[in-house]
Amino acid sequence: MKIGFIKYILIFFLSFHSINLYSAGKADLVEQKWPFDGFFGRFDQSSLQRGFQVYREVCAGCHGIRLVSFRDLAALGYTNDDIKSIASEYEIEDGPNDEGEMFTRFAKPSDKFVGPYRNKNEARASNNGSYPPDLSLIVKARAGGADYLYNLLNGYKEVPENFRLNDGMYYNTIYPGKQIAMPQPIYDDMVEYEDNTPASQDQIIRDVTSFLAWTAEPELDERKSIGVRVLLFLFLLTLMLYAVKRKIWRDVE
């Protein structure tokens, strides 16, 4: 009985300690105001389009978004012709055909995005043994969400004199251990936005973070819209029921 009590005390202590560690780690993040935060928050479609452009020109060489279909881009404001054109830039291995052989074809809007590597071994071999993660759910997979990704991409600094950096690694103040295998991917003016938005490093990081927040939760706008309508319905229903109750019980003392 005493052992069991001690075990529960230890579990409680470790849980509390873990929460403190998480809070301490999160304290290093500079919190940002995102347009999609909060109950009434919505994605900024212009920012999502710019973020998608950054993904295609900067991130897609190493990272995939395998859970996103080309036709999902309609939510970003792309037309059917735009989506067909984007999909046609990718080739997909399909099959088998009638002869039992695999073949290559251009992607269709219903296909998922094609990753840069055929398998994980090829990915590791191309990146000094490190595996570039798929970015579809990266915002959901990291504590701190969009703030973590934003701070990580802004976290590349000069290596301190007393810090020992391993070969092939880069110093990043946000990444655990402060060493990351990915070189700094984003700099000022490295892309030329189609809408002529000034492409500062901060703007590029903010846009690609917003895009990856969307890939992790593309139904967010619809879900929040439904939530608002449900709450409005419940509020009106409550008023109606209250009025009915007042009418039924008005003669009762």
CB 133 within 8 A of CB 63: yes
Residue 253 binned pLDDT confidence (cut-offs 50, 70, 90): low
pLDDT at 53 (0 to 100)? 97
Kindly tell me if the per-residue pLDDT of 171 is higher than 90. yes
Kindly tell me if the per-residue pLDDT of 124 is higher than 80. yes
**Does residue 94 form part of some domain?**
no
Look up residue 247 and give its two tokens.
Answer: 């009418």
**Does residue 102 form part of some domain?**
no
pLDDT tens-digit readout, 144-168: 999 999 999 999 999 999 999 999 8
Residue 250 binned pLDDT confidence (cut-offs 50, 70, 90): confident
**Does residue 31 form part of some domain?**
no
What are the helix and strand counts (H, E) for the chain?
Answer: 8, 4
Average pLDDT over residues 122-136: 91
CB 217 within 8 A of CB 141: no
**Does residue 100 form part of some domain?**
no
**Does residue 14 form part of some domain?**
no
**Residue whose structure tokens are 């879900």:** 223
More confident residue, 231 or 58: 58
What rounded mean pLDDT belongs to the chain?
87
Q: CB 88: neighbour CB atoms within 10 A?
A: 13
pLDDT at 89 (0 to 100)? 93
Tell me the DSSP string of 96-127: --TTS--EEEE--TTSBPPPSSSSHHHHHHTT
pLDDT at 180 (0 to 100)? 95
**Residues with Cβ < 8 Å from 225, sequence gap 6 or more?**
none
CB 169 within 8 A of CB 180: yes
66: which DSSP letter? T
Average pLDDT over residues 91-116: 90
Average pLDDT over residues 120-147: 93
Look up residue 114 and give its two tokens.
Answer: 């094609």
Percent of the chain with pLDDT over 90: 64
> To 10 degrees, the CA torsion angle through 44, 49, 52, 54?
-100
**Does residue 200 form part of some domain?**
yes
The residue segments making up the domain with residue 164 are 42-68+112-245
**Does residue 37 form part of some domain?**
no
Residue 13 binned pLDDT confidence (cut-offs 50, 70, 90): very low
Q: Is the pTM of this model over 0.85?
A: no
Total domain count, the chain: 1
Kindly tell me if the per-residue pLDDT of 203 is higher than 90. yes
Average pLDDT over residues 138-147: 94
CATH number of the domain that residue 149 is part of: 1.10.760.10
DSSP H helical ranges for 36-102? 45-54, 80-87
Kindly tell me if the per-residue pLDDT of 224 is higher than 90. no
**Does residue 34 form part of some domain?**
no
